[in-house]
């Protein structure tokens, strides 16, 4: 059976879409080397935490083109306050999306705007200066990622200054998952 030029183009376009979707799914499930992303969900919330509590929500809507304009509007990290007093600060993070996420707390250098860190070829930023992390589903501190519907938390002693809260899963920072926090 002979195919017309138009039919061949349609088949090629459909194949490209299927391959792109499969690639994005692989990135979402596997993440960066050494960070296996497990599928699934968990339901839990953070316990009562010491100090000033900052409630952070992380969301994403479906799978888009990582770092592209569709993904930027579909991914969000938001904090319930922009400033806190110095001292003990707890971060209660809830993942309202359908992919695993994490929260990293990094100092924000003088004059630097949030969201302007350089991302590497792996779609992640440099974590140098990391002060703390909430990435354990239904637990405190570092883990394998906050599953959809789950929470994680971390308590830090923060000095006055500017900090950037980020999700550093591949492509998430570039897609808009960051917020600024000022400690006074």
The CATH number of whichever domain residue 82 belongs to comes to 2.60.40.420
Asked, for residue 45, whether it belongs to a domain, the answer is no
pLDDT at 14: 53
With contact defined as beta carbons under 8 Å apart, do 31 and 37 qualify?
yes
Structural domain boundaries, residue 87: 52-183
Is residue 39 assigned to a domain? Answer: no
Does 103 share its domain with 21?
no
Q: What does the alpha-carbon distance between residue 155 and residue 92 come to, in Å, rounded to a whole number?
A: 9
Tell me whether residue 139 is in a domain.
Answer: yes
Tell me the pTM.
Answer: 0.74
- 84 and 137 assigned to the same domain: yes
Q: At 88, phi and psi to the nearest 5?
A: -75, 120
H or E, element range at 18: helix 5-30
Same domain, 133 and 166: yes
18 and 73 belong to one structural domain: no
pLDDT, position 36: 35
CA distance 93 to 96: 10
Is residue 122 within 8 Å of 84, Cβ to Cβ? no
| Average pLDDT, consecutive stretches of 10 residues, N- to C-terminus, the chain (184 residues) | 60 49 44 41 89 97 52 80 98 96 97 96 96 97 96 98 97 96 98
Assess whether 17 and 63 both reside in one domain: no
User: What is the reported pLDDT for 62?
Assistant: 60
At residue 119, the pLDDT reads 97
* pLDDT the model gives residue 18: 43
Task: Look at residue 93 and tell me if it is in a domain.
Answer: yes
| Residue at 94 is within a domain | yes
Query: What token pair was written down for 81?
Result: 């306050």
Domain count, the chain: 2
């Amino acid at each position: 059976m002979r195919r017309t030029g138009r039919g061949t183009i349609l088949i090629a376009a459909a194949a490209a879409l299927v391959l792109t979707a499969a690639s994005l799914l692989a990135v979402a499930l596997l993440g960066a080397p050494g960070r296996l992303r497990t599928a699934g969900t968990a339901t839990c919330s953070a316990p009562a935490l010491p100090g000033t509590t900052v409630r952070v929500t992380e969301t994403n809507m479906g799978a888009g083109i990582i770092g592209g304009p569709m993904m930027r509007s579909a991914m969000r990290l938001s904090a319930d306050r922009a400033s806190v007093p110095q001292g003990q600060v707890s971060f209660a993070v809830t993942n309202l999306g359908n992919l695993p996420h994490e929260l990293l707390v990094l100092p924000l250098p003088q004059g630097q705007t949030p969201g302007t860190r350089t991302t590497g070829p792996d779609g992640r930023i440099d974590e140098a200066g990391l002060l703390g992390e909430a990435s354990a589903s239904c637990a405190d501190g570092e883990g394998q990622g906050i599953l959809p519907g789950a929470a994680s938390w971390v308590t830090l002693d923060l000095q006055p200054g500017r900090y950037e809260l980020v999700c550093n899963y591949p492509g998430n920072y570039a897609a808009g998952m960051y917020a600024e926090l000022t400690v006074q």
